[in-house]
Structure 1
Amino acid sequence: MFNRVLSRLPVRPGLAVFESHLGRHYSDNPKYIYRELRRTGRPVRAVWAYASSPKGFPDDAALVRRGSWAYFLALARARFWVDNQGYPEGLRKRPETTYIQTWHGSAFKLMGLDQPRVKSGPAAQRDKLRRMVERYDCFLVRSGHDAETLCAGLGVCAELLPAGYPRNDPLVNGVNGDPELAAEVASLRASLGLDDGRRAVLYAPTFTTGPKGRPVKLLDPPIDPEVFARELGEEYVLLVRPHYLCKANVPPGARSVMRDVGGVPDVTPLLLLADALITDHSSIMFDFALLDRPIILHLPDGRDLTAGYFDLDRHGPGPITRTEDELVAALAGLDAAEAGHAARRRAFAARFGEHDRGTAARTVVDRYFPAARPRNRGDRGDRGERNGRTA
């Protein structure tokens, strides 16, 4: 129906469909492009796709449920597609539609055709990847590393826009000039009870897979809550942020020293309020490094054997720990060890975030979206605009 019927309808100038992580959240790079469009008053009619609930999505955009008739109709008639993962496979993008693929993180782990299971797997799997990727008209990159690894692995043939990531603009610029985001961070800090003088440490690893290759559903804290409370609880609060494919397993009794922040839709405010990061191979290390705050790479259970695009021991942004005791010691000695890791972390940020200058959202908007036309006196605006409705 989409390719045979809906794609024959006329494209609507200025119609843009936004989606983040398959409609899970109002978040990530698409969110910050949308905010820049709104800030600059571009003549864009925004539609946001949501997967299950419209809660948390912007009131001043039209909302459609992912997979609904309204969703497919909006995609068929859109002048712009903006997302960070992928619209449904099988939908042919029209030549009149510009697809801005922001993606959702630089790569340490092998991607796409660089993965042995994809390279040696069924041809149908590679064909599916090719069809998804060849729809892109623009692909955002943060560095030459992205172009050489992520883009090559996925087989991207679209324009590579060396703008950095819009979600990282606040990590470079701070929030002083952004009252909306400053209020969001302050509200989050208050809701998490982080005003008692202790430092917030964000634990945000990527997902792990079980024996059958499926994501493990529960993420345990990296340190036993009783051990954390005894050894570190007077100085730190641990914020446990699972990958969206799993949930945090934080015991209710650990609330005094640990918080489950898996329900926070957008990670950028969490990065802004965190004083340090614990992660593994997750792409979050590339983003957090821009803040020039301590990073610990915790690689238990053989995770340091994971194949990647570079050697974490040589080029990682911080110390590596492999056991609970090592992680406790690293946190206890965080300040003392800072002098030995700061220079390498800054080199890491410069290498992998070379295009993150705090202007990514503006660069994307200026490159692809028309400027607002000056209104004549008596202009009553776009009578067809529809705000805040769901379908």
Structure 2
Amino acid sequence: MVNKQNQRVSIIIPFYNTLEFVEDCLNSVLKQTYSSIEIIVINDGSDSENTRYLESLIVDDRIVYLKNETRRGVAYSRNKGLKAATGEFVFFLDSDDLLTEDAIELLVAQIQEYPVVVGRTKRLLRPSDLEFSVDSSELAAERSKETLFKAGSILNVLIRSEFIKEHHIEFSEGTEGYSDLSAVIPVILHSKDLPSINIPTYYKRVRNDPISNPSLVQRPIDERTHEFITVYKGLRNKYGKYVEAKQYLDQTFLRFYRRQVINIFKDVNRFDEMFDLTASAVKVLNPNSIASQPSHIKKELKQLKNSNKVKFQKALRFHIEAWDFKNAIKGFTRLKRYIYKKVFLKFPLKENYIIFESFLGKNFSDSPRNIYEYIIENNLDYQCIWVFNDKNRKIPGNAKIVKRFSLAYYYYFAVSKYWINNMRQPLHLVKRDGNVFLETWHGTPLKKLVFDMKEVYSANPRYKRDFYMQSRAWDYLLSPNRYSSEIFNRAFKFDNEMLEYGYPRNDILYSPKKDEIAERVKETIGIPKDKKVVLYAPTWRDDDYYEPGKYKFQLQLDLHKMKEVLGDEYVVALRMHYFIADDINVEGLDDFAFNLSKYDDIAELYLISDILITDYSSVFFDYANLKRPILFFTYDLDKYRDQLRGFYLDFENDAPGPLLRTSDEVIEAIANIETVKKEYASRYEGFYEMFCSWHDGKSTEKVVKKVLLGENSKTNS
């Protein structure tokens, strides 16, 4: 490709408190194949930590660093960058976004004699999105300017500097968001069809933490609506004599309204305010621009223009009901949710109904099981409902069994006063006034959680937002130790009541009948009484998945070699994480390897196990209650620790057992387990005191008395 490398491109990057992204952003610019660039970074009043970090990255002489002493906004910073720019072309980049390596080279080559060229933008939700294949035989094509600027963004657009100066292009500084429109309008007015690149040149990051650090488009809808309408009305007034500008602005407003109308008016406490605001914009709309809108939108806009709140509310209710019904009839799953929302949620709560769920309906296990069994054993007056994926599941007691996501499931979630779960609940479930939600959770964290994670590599890039919304419904959260309480408060942003009683699921580990239970379990599974048991219980890998909730797993432990060396004395019990979808192949390992991934209660497997092998799973925190040896098979430690999750503990120095990288090391450790026990004895004692000392076999009783019976139980804090 022939380049005009002598023509400089000024890349303008406003920066405000995005230290977790800015290094990637700058690196993507510094690695451009096009060499003649100046990078203008404007620090828009960032805090001291972000400022120090940003300034540590200013090491290339192509970077021009400007600083606002206080936050002035994106528009002000871009205008400041424009004044400092010396290039023949200007390009705007956000500090959390990335460029492809040849982005600027492609854009410069395709601008030819045009004033503007537009690149193709790709959303960046997860690292795998950075991979793409070129599927277009035509590198660039001419498109209408209205199509290219439909989103109202000036990002990923190369503009001639002389065009900017000739048409006095600048950003309106009255708002934080939507200031791009003030720069787009001159392009709409003073250009014709424009070239656009057919392959990605720009990665627009969708931030994974819209709660702690939202982008401008992730802020609350009322803020965005105020700013959008302010910008719309201001530009409509400024360019009132230009028909093309008014048409573009009106269509932009109508797209915003149609996408956001239900959200805009969702908060009934702000209805009057939002009605008056939206009506003020509708009154300046050209009536002809409304002609192509659907009939229900026309009705709403008419009542807004006439300032008739009563009729508008009626029209909006019809819109919402029609949308809900249209969505409901697309399939039985949606229809069930519709019946739940429109019918079941209107039924009264039943004060003595408790609905239980464990591990997404896969098991009768964990702390919900212990609480249920306590209720049964003590003849407490509650109607219990258990959620399973198998509606024919049998469990002790007289609980009602319902299939997950069945119509009965939605009915009982609607009417049960108490919800007890060890996982996050589906987002579409509605916690009603009077509901009491006990979140038992399911482990002491080793891996970083939610808001302590920098990046999200899992299948759900909206993990942080979803988690935050789900955890707002939790009235109580169980904690197994002080360490977990501190992490849960911070990482979950949890500010309701923490029950520091230890986990009910671990009561069995202190049962006076634990040896009897172990014998019964071994007999049920078919493990010979004379064989010792090694339990292998690894976790899932965030970046290796089929879809959300279904993760791949390649077994790295050489079971055949283990059988050959250890088979006379040991058997192996395999317990995969409930997220792992792959079946583990134990062919040829009869009477040695037992795949118990679907066994209900892992605590019973702890009791039969003489040794635990795990990796980064929280199971070792629970197993440590038994004071039996633990081995860590951490063949991918560097990647998991440094890239995927990160750890809360200094894992190498604090783990109560050796970190082993190969199957041979695992086999050797098992063969010499007494030596391992002696070597790690003192570390194990300290670990037990820190993570297990709250457990006394009475956690279930304390939880029931507090949550269900209203009695205060002494916490361990």
Give the TM-score, by structure 1 length.
Answer: 0.86
Distance 1:71 1:359, change over 3 A: same
Matches within 5 A, 1:194-213: 194-210=527-543
Pairwise CA distance, 1:305: 4.7
Paired amino acid for 1:338: K
Give the TM-score, by structure 2 length.
Answer: 0.48
Q: In the alignment, what sits opposite 2:437?
A: 99
Q: In the alignment, what sits opposite 1:388?
A: none
Q: In the alignment, what sits opposite 1:275?
A: 610
Q: In the alignment, what sits opposite 2:598?
A: 263
The whole-number CA distance in structure 1 between the counterparts of 2:489 and 2:583 is 31
Q: Equivalent residue of 2:385, what SS?
A: strand
**Which structure ranks higher in relative contact order (CA pairs < 8 Å, sequence separation ≥ 6)?**
1
Q: In the alignment, which of 576, 584, 605 is matched to residue 242 of structure 1?
A: 576
Q: Equivalent residue of 2:533, what SS?
A: strand
Q: Equivalent residue of 1:231, what SS?
A: helix
- Does residue 1:172 correspond to 2:510, yes or no? yes
Pairwise CA distance, 1:117: 2.2
Cα distance per residue 1:268-312 (max 9 Å; x no partner) = 110111011000110100000000000001100345751110111
Cα distance per residue 1:178-200 (max 9 Å; x no partner) = xxx955x4343013333341210
Pairwise CA distance, 1:173: 2.7
Q: In the alignment, what sits opposite 2:687?
A: 348
Matches within 5 A, 1:1-391: 1=338, 2-118=340-456, 125-175=463-513, 182=516, 185-210=518-543, 216-220=551-555, 222-225=557-560, 227-246=561-580, 247-302=582-637, 305-306=640-641, 307-370=646-709
Pairwise CA distance, 1:74: 0.8
Distance 1:302 1:313, change over 3 A: closer
Distance 1:92 1:53, change over 3 A: closer
Distance 1:279 1:87, change over 3 A: same
Distance 1:333 1:122, change over 3 A: closer
The whole-number CA distance in structure 2 between the counterparts of 1:228 and 1:289 is 24
Cα distance per residue 1:70-110 (max 9 Å; x no partner) = 11111111110000002221222112111000001110001
The whole-number CA distance in structure 2 between the counterparts of 1:14 and 1:203 is 40
Q: Equivalent residue of 1:70, what SS?
A: helix
Paired amino acid for 2:574: V
Structure 1 range deviating more: 77-86 or 5-14: 5-14
Q: Equivalent residue of 1:142, what SS?
A: coil
Q: In the alignment, what sits opposite 1:384?
A: none
Cα distance per residue 1:217-274 (max 9 Å; x no partner) = 345261241x212221112111111111224523321113221111211111101110
Seq. identity, % = 27
Q: Report how many residues are paired.
A: 364
Unpaired runs of at least 5, structure 1? 372-391
Distance 1:208 1:49, change over 3 A: same
Paired amino acid for 1:202: L
Paired amino acid for 1:38: I
Pairwise CA distance, 1:319: 1.1
The whole-number CA distance in structure 1 between the counterparts of 2:556 and 2:608 is 19
Structure 1 range deviating more: 135-144 or 299-308: 299-308
Distance 1:18 1:364, change over 3 A: same
Distance 1:24 1:326, change over 3 A: same
The whole-number CA distance in structure 1 between the counterparts of 2:600 and 2:545 is 29
The whole-number CA distance in structure 2 between the counterparts of 1:364 and 1:95 is 22
The whole-number CA distance in structure 1 between the counterparts of 2:682 and 2:372 is 35
Structure 1 range deviating more: 192-201 or 71-80: 192-201
Pairwise CA distance, 1:216: 4.6
Q: Does the CA contact (< 8 Å) of 1:240 and 1:260 recur in 2?
A: yes
Q: Equivalent residue of 2:351, what SS?
A: coil
Distance 1:265 1:123, change over 3 A: closer
Q: Equivalent residue of 2:612, what SS?
A: strand
Structure 1 range deviating more: 203-212 or 329-338: 203-212
The whole-number CA distance in structure 2 between the counterparts of 1:210 and 1:11 is 41
Structure 1 range deviating more: 53-62 or 161-170: 53-62
Paired amino acid for 1:199: K
**Structure of larger gyration radius:** 2
The whole-number CA distance in structure 1 between the counterparts of 2:655 and 2:368 is 28
Unpaired runs of at least 5, structure 2? 1-337, 711-717
